[in-house]
Amino acid sequence: MTGKDDLPERMRDQYARIASERDSSTRSSAFPSDPVEYAKSIGYSKRDIESVPEGTVIGLGCRNPIGLADLKEGEVVLDLGCGCGFDAFLAAQRVGGTGRVIGVDMTPQMVEKARSSAARGQYANVEFKVGAIEHLPVEDNCMDAVISNCVINHSPDKLTVFRELYRVLKPGGRIAVSDLVVQEEFQEAVLQSLDAMWRDWIAGAVGKEEYLTAIADARFRDIAVVFEREFGMSPMDERLKGKIVSLQVKARK
């Protein structure tokens, strides 16, 4: 089944399994077998990887959004779809003790893992919450920046997601988003033949123009695509080669 109505529930189940895995070698072929090397390939440094609690780097995402966000000491940051907390912990290091990071994820198992890592690493300026990205458990006008890494493509209602980001940002606040878009719509027969994780990633993805239009329709300004390249994992399946693009977009409220 590849419909979009229950896509968030399917993704939640997939990520719950990933959160409970102890051996990445048994993971879906949609993910790299070496999460650390994969993280390096999408823009994270060795220092980044070594600075976060063990078990945080699990090989998800499509491009490092941290540098794009230009985070500053004392800022309040939302990590949308935080997973196990990798980007949230990196953000916390940049905003320092006077700043704060809130990570939101729809998968309770991911959030629990992030909270455990925060406790082990003694991150006092990070908080993790379970919540849907279309209905954030966050107050209005309270965030300086929102970061997100390959998450919004999972939502069947991207306009609602970007409206939520607009709502929670302070005036002048910014988004720094890494995500996937598709070059063309995939036929149902192709989707059905793919690995379940690939199928669900693609089922929620839209074209570049539709994605950028959703940002504009949510009233963001100064929208800029700062990175655009074929998604590095897609050539692993010939049916996907050249058809999935990794984007980085920034915009301001």
> Which of 52-56, 184-188, 215-219 holds the top average pLDDT?
215-219
Give the start-to-end residue ranges of the domains of the chain.
Answer: 7-252
- Amino acid in the structure at residue 103: G
* CATH code at 7-252: 3.40.50.150
pLDDT-based confidence at 1, cuts 50/70/90?
A: very low
In this predicted structure, the answer to whether residue 23 has a pLDDT above a threshold of 60 is no
Would you say residue 79 has pLDDT above 50?
A: yes
Per-residue confidence band for 247, with pLDDT thresholds at 50, 70 and 90: very high
pLDDT at residue 64 is higher than 80: yes
Instruction: Return the pLDDT at 236.
Output: 63
pTM of the shown model: 0.91
In percent, the amount of the chain with pLDDT more than 90 equals 68
Q: Tens digit of pLDDT for each residue in 116-163?
A: 999 999 999 999 999 999 999 999 999 999 999 999 998 989 999 999
pLDDT for the residue numbered 29 = 55
Number of C-beta neighbours around residue 204 at 10 A: 22
Question: Which residues touch 3 (CB under 8 Å, ≥6 apart)?
Answer: 203
pLDDT (mean) for 33-51: 92
Helix H or strand E encompassing 136: none
Per-residue pLDDT band for 189 (boundaries 50, 70, 90) equals: confident
Beta strands in the chain (DSSP E): 76-80, 100-105, 126-130, 143-149, 169-182, 221-230, 244-252
User: Would you state the pLDDT for residue 238?
Assistant: 76
The one-character DSSP state at 135 is: B
Q: What is the predicted pLDDT for the residue at 43?
A: 94
> Is a pLDDT exceeding 80 seen at residue 243?
yes
Other beta carbons within 10 angstroms of residue 191's beta carbon come to: 17
Q: What is the DSSP letter of 22?
A: S
Whether 26 has a pLDDT exceeding 70, the answer reads no
pLDDT of 199 higher than 90: no
The Cα–Cα gap between 110 and 105 comes to: 7
Q: How confident is the model at residue 106 (pLDDT cuts 50, 70, 90)?
A: very high
3-state secondary structure at position 197: helix
Furthest C-alpha separation in the chain: 52
Q: Label residue 44 by pLDDT band (50, 70, 90).
A: very high
Q: Determine the pLDDT at residue 101.
A: 98
Structure tokens at 19: 């959160």
**Average per-residue pLDDT for the chain:** 89
Q: Residues 80-92: what's their mean pLDDT? A: 97
- Residue 25's closest CA among 11, 37, 35, 39? 35
Query: Do residues 95 and 124 touch, judged by C-beta distance below 8 A?
Result: no
> Is 147 within 8 Å of 248 (Cβ atoms)?
no
**Mean pLDDT within 166-177:** 98
